Amino acid sequence: MHEMAIAQGILNIVLNTAIENQVGKVTNIKLLIGQMTQIEPESLKFGFAALSMGSIAEGASVEITIVPLVGQCNSCRQKFAVERYCFLCPNCNSANVTVLSGRELAVEYLEGE
């Protein structure tokens, strides 16, 4: 379950950011998670809740936005949603594709008191 390791990294970022900004209690955390990361949101939330116990982030709500997997063909420049991890351009059938989004894993923001 790689979600626990990711939850620990997110907790570290949240705690460091809170300390740097003199936040006494973290109340809300917004995450951007790319579809390609294959992170299970509920497992991540569970791991974060367990790891944050006793910290200033304990009880914080965790909102997750899943960022869709989007590619762009380098041959015809067509942008398209990548489905079933098929990285072939639906316009020209080229495999020369760049991933534009879907690999994100970021703390978009946090709120606190």
What distance lies between CA 89 and its chain's CA centroid? 25
Architecture label for domain 3-112? 2-Layer Sandwich (3.30)
> How many angstroms separate the CA atoms of 41 and 39, rounded?
6
Q: Over 70: is that where the pLDDT of 23 sits?
A: yes
**Each residue of 35-62: pLDDT tens digit?**
999 999 999 999 999 999 999 999 999 9
Question: What value does the CA radius of gyration of the chain take, rounded to a whole number of Å?
Answer: 17
Give 98's pLDDT tier (boundaries 50, 70, 90). Answer: very high
- What is the pLDDT confidence band of residue 71, given thresholds at 50, 70 and 90? very high
